[in-house]
Amino acid sequence: MGKASSQRSAAGRREPRTTSHESRATSHVSRAASHEPRVQGLDRLIHERLRLGIISALAVNDRLTFNELKALLETTDGNLSVHARKLEDAEYISVDKSFEGRMPRTEYRLTAAGKRALEKYLAHMEALIKAVRD
């Protein structure tokens, strides 16, 4: 066979050419993505599985520590911290960092805005379920 074919980019670097198989796969993906139903009004921030888990857990608990959430959701430190930060940035949860002795302790609470967002999200999902069943 020999060398893989390549072409020069605008920056002058060599980049591999896509094969016809890769082009077909890419066009198939973009066509499929364009046919995906888009649900209007769905809070994409909450809809993600781990973030929905965090919000739901905090809705039924006054507060939870980082380690309690991590165990409950069976996730890693990194995943939990990234998703919790997104919820914190949206002001859906509040974070209280303190120390117990020399050990850091992070506690999360659902804010009023987070509770409203969850209620709106649940109402929207209930409406979708009802529409599908009718």
Q: 113-131 pLDDT, tens per residue?
A: 999 999 999 999 999 999 9
Confidence grade of residue 42 (pLDDT, cut at 50, 70, 90): confident
pLDDT of 96 above 60: yes
pLDDT of 91 above 90: yes
Tell me the fold of 44-133. Answer: Arc Repressor Mutant, subunit A (1.10.10)
pLDDT of 13 above 60: no
Contact call for residues 85 and 106 (beta carbons, < 8 A): no
Confidence grade of residue 78 (pLDDT, cut at 50, 70, 90): very high
Average pLDDT over residues 31-45: 60
Backbone angles phi, psi at 109, to 5 degrees: -135, 150
Confidence grade of residue 12 (pLDDT, cut at 50, 70, 90): low
Characterize 8-29 residue by residue with b for buried, 16 or more Cβ atoms within 10 angstroms of its Cβ, and e for exposed: eeeeeeeeeeeeeeeeeeeeee
Side chain identity at residue 2, one-letter code? G
pLDDT of 31 above 70: no
Amino acid 15: pLDDT: 52
The domain segmentation of the chain, as residue ranges, is: 44-133
Amino acid 30: pLDDT: 41
pLDDT of 22 above 50: no
